[in-house]
């Protein structure tokens, strides 16, 4: 697993985790009960505006050894982290990013409410049969979005 750039230390921003689940899985997710997740790719949208910024938050998402605190922690135990898309833009763009992904062709919502307990979005987790592309996403969110590949 590759390391995060030290330059992210104390920078805040919005991010998307691109995850791959190799086979259909039922996942128990806290109070949400057991959810059936089909094989494929998932995009989870989040933000890091607290202490430690993006480096601390993304470091947590990279690690599989942690106490499950958020919805994504439960899925992350089983899903491979393929890429991270992120921006250092000072605006909290989490909900805007989620809306752009929701409107993308072939998007499925596997679990309404996932990761969206502190906003009015329907979800912050989206499913795709094939890996979504960053180029179109960048154009639609109209802000610089960087890529961090996680493959060795």
Cα 103–Cα 104–Cα 110 angle in degrees, nearest 5: 80
Q: Quote the pTM value.
A: 0.91
2 occurs within a structural domain: no
User: What is the 8-class DSSP label of residue 31?
Assistant: G
- Which residue segment(s) compose the domain that 142 sits in? 9-149
3-state secondary structure of 30: helix
Evaluate whether residue 19 is within a structural domain.
Answer: yes
What does the block give as tokens for 69?
């605190």
Give the CA dihedral 17, 20, 23, 28, nearest 10 degrees: -20
pLDDT > 90 in the chain, percent: 44
Domain annotation covers residue 3:
no
Residue 43 forms part of a structural domain: yes
The total number of structural domains that make up the chain: 1
Q: How confident is the model at residue 3 (pLDDT cuts 50, 70, 90)?
A: low
Q: Does the residue 1 lie in any domain?
A: no
Q: pLDDT, tens digit, for every residue of 68-99?
A: 777 888 888 889 999 999 998 888 999 999 99
Q: Is residue 96 part of a domain?
A: yes
Query: What's the average model confidence in pLDDT over 1-7?
Result: 62
**pLDDT value at residue 119:** 84
Residue 4 lies in a domain: no
Query: What value does the mean pLDDT take over residues 108-130?
Result: 89
Residue 34 has pLDDT above 50, yes or no: yes
Cα separation, 140 vs 134, whole angstroms: 10
């Amino acid at each position: 697993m590759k390391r995060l750039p030290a330059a992210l230390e104390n920078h805040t921003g919005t991010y998307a985790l691109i995850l791959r689940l190799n086979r259909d899985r039922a996942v128990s997710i806290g109070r949400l009960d057991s959810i059936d997740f089909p094989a494929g790719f998932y995009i989870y949208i989040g933000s890091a505006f607290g202490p430690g910024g993006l480096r601390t938050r993304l470091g947590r998402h990279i690690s599989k050894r942690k106490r499950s605190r958020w919805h994504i922690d439960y899925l992350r135990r089983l899903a491979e982290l393929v890429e991270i898309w992120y921006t250092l833009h000072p605006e909290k763009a989490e909900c805007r990013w989620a809306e752009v992904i929701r409107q993308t062709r072939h998007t499925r919502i596997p679990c309404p409410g996932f990761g969206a307990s502190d906003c009015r979005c329907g979800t912050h987790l989206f499913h795709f049969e094939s890996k979504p592309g960053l180029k179109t996403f960048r154009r639609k969110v109209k802000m610089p979005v960087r890529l961090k590949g996680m493959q060795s």
